[in-house]
């Protein structure tokens, strides 16, 4: 018996990274999966976003676990696309029990240098599209009078990040939205919580701008990035997507049936550090 037997989990940003990891973790616990991803590039993002082939790979890996899955190319910034895709999921499965709102982008630039479109793309993706996803699933969750929503924020939802004011603002906003949503959904017995990942090793953090930030200079390398990241967490080292998925499964399961409105750090102890970890444990 899995902890999510009989449940259907909808996951945004599911084509790769944390989203794929969450899909596989919930499938292993018995859930059927609805996987959404934009599968196209956003012009202001310097690293490659997920592709339709990535989404197909998520579908194949879930099916290999003998679970059902519906994969859909969906831009969560577009309410009409979301509403249509949620309707298709309900036609396919008849219910949605878990909603993991995981999509996000991260770009770099001093706030006074950010182009307006870069700011808008980040806020639209990391905050407004979270609200739109909540709107798309709310009629069904309220009618069923139950369910669990897990919003992916970040440790930057509670602390600042120089060079990413737009990302920091959006992730702070996602936590405020979560708290308001937790209160509004509570009369319908729908739980709404957030996870705050630390520095997770995905495509979003594995590009030149990220290497430059962690190394402290232009032209940083992946090797310097890995070395510097050892000081970002109390446990040291970059985190894996799977490190976040355990918390997501817990919040999706009935084990957390009395938990709503919380900000759960899953950050290898990053937030307990005063600045950076001067003595990370050996790898």
Coil/strand/helix, residue 196: strand
Burial per residue of 50-83, b for 16 or more beta-carbon CB atoms within 10 angstroms, e otherwise: bbeebbebbbeebeeeebebbbbbbbbbebebbe
Answer yes or no: are the C-beta atoms of 103 and 38 closer than 8 Å: yes
Tokens at residue 180, please? 């308001």
Task: Give catalytic residues, as residue numbers.
Answer: 167
Q: How far apart are CA 48 and CA 181, in angstroms?
A: 32
- Give alpha helix (H) positions in the chain: 17-28, 52-64, 79-93, 116-123, 129-144, 165-185, 208-215, 222-229, 241-252
CA dist., res. 103 & res. 152, Å (int): 8
- Residue matched to tokens 């990040």: 161
Helix or strand (DSSP H, E) at 163: none
Q: Are 205 and 246 in contact (CB under 8 A)?
A: no
């Amino acid at each position: 018996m899995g902890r999510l037997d009989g449940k259907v989990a909808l996951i945004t940003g599911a084509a790769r990274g944390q989203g794929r990891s969450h899909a596989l973790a919930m499938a292993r616990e018995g859930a059927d999966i609805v996987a959404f991803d934009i599968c196209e590039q956003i012009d202001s993002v310097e690293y490659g976003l997920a592709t339709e082939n990535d989404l197909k790979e998520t579908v194949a890996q879930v099916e290999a676990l003998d679970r059902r899955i519906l994969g859909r190319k969906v831009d969560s910034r577009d309410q009409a696309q979301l509403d249509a895709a949620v309707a298709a999921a309900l036609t396919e499965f008849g219910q949605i029990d878990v909603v993991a709102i995981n999509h996000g982008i991260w770009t770099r630039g001093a706030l006074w240098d950010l182009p307006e479109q870069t700011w808008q793309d980040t806020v639209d993706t990391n905050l407004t599209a979270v609200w739109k996803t909540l709107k798309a699933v709310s009629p069904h969750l309220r009618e069923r009078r139950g369910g669990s929503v897990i919003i992916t924020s970040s440790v930057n939802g509670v602390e600042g990040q120089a060079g990413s004011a737009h990302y920091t603002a959006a992730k702070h906003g996602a936590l405020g939205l979560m708290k308001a949503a937790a209160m509004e959904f509570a009369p319908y017995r729908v739980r709404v919580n957030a996870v705050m990942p630390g520095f997770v090793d995905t495509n979003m953090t594995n590009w030149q701008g990220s290497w430059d930030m962690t190394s402290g200079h232009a032209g940083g390398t992946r090797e310097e990035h890995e070395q510097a990241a050892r000081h970002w967490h109390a446990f040291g080292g970059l985190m894996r997507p799977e490190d976040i998925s355990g918390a997501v499964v817990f919040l999706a399961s009935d084990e957390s049936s009395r938990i709503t409105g919380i900000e759960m750090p899953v950050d290898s102890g990053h937030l307990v550090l005063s600045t950076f970890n001067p003595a990370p444990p050996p790898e």
